[in-house]
Copies of this chain bind each other. A is one copy, B any other.
Amino acid sequence: MRLVGILGGMGPEATVLLMRKVIALRAGGDDADHVPLLVHQNPQVPSRIAALIEGTGESPAQVLAEMARVLEAGGAEALAMPCNTAHAYGDAVRAAAQIPFLDMIALSTAALAAKGRRIGMLASPAVHRARVFHAAFAKAGLVMVLPDEAPLLDLIRTVKSGRTGAAEGAALTRLAEGLRAQGADHIAVACTELSLLTPHLPQGLPWTDTLDCLAGAIVQFSLTGDLHAASD
């Protein structure tokens, strides 16, 4: 199996959640059936929000490029980054390494285009403001349907603080119903905090989690070397 390098730590829980999804995709066998990863869990990557939204602070690009070089030198045969927002720096990652980059935005957009047309986006406002999905969606002919920002941010903050109970589930249900009312025919879950609440997405409104798209591509690449729509 091929070793996949993970540009992680943004945040550290999202990286762990990706690792758990990769493990779950190979459950039921021996240790040796699991996919090998080299994980740079680097919570000190400069703030993507500060750089992209507030226009302050160090750019994450150089740190991400150095992480990519470390992972390639360590034997990784492809790279992946479990953070939607950080994909604003995907070009810096690509430029830093010779190995392919399993682009979560490209992978998720390809998966979404096969399933819907008007995509309700459950993502941090930073993802939209950095226009992370805009070019890929335009190319795929997908329409982006955005939720109310204030209740979405409230919910993300509440989940970050550790609460994932009935009230938070109900808040996610309301957000998703709002997206459906705006014409969304499919939901993109592009936020680790909201990934934890997907059982509360309403019946009859299908959804795709970008982290699942990435986990699937990692397993497929490790087992077969196949990249599909994943890479540049």
A residues touching B (Cβ–Cβ < 8 Å)?
Answer: 1, 9-13, 15-16, 19-20, 23, 27, 31-45, 47, 70-71, 73-75, 162
List of 4 A-B pairs having minimum Cβ-Cβ separation, nearest first:
A34-B43, A39-B39, A37-B41, A11-B31
The answer for the CA separation of A36 and B70 in the assembled complex, in Å, is 14
Identical copies in the complex: 2
The answer to whether B36 touches A44, judged by C-beta atoms less than 8 angstroms apart, is yes
Query: Residue of B at shortest CB range from A34?
Result: B43
The answer for the CA separation of A41 and B40 in the assembled complex, in Å, is 11
The answer to whether A41 touches B19, judged by C-beta atoms less than 8 angstroms apart, is yes
Known: A16-B20, A74-B70, A75-B70. A32 touches B43 (CB 8 A): yes
The answer for the CA separation of A39 and B9 in the assembled complex, in Å, is 11
Known: A37-B39, A41-B39, A70-B75. A31 touches B19 (CB 8 A): no
The answer to whether B16 touches A23, judged by C-beta atoms less than 8 angstroms apart, is yes
CB distance from A106 to the nearest CB of B (A): 24
Query: Residue of B at shortest CB range from A3?
Result: B42
Most buried by B among A20, A31, A33: A31
Known: A34-B43, A38-B70, A41-B37. A13 touches B9 (CB 8 A): no
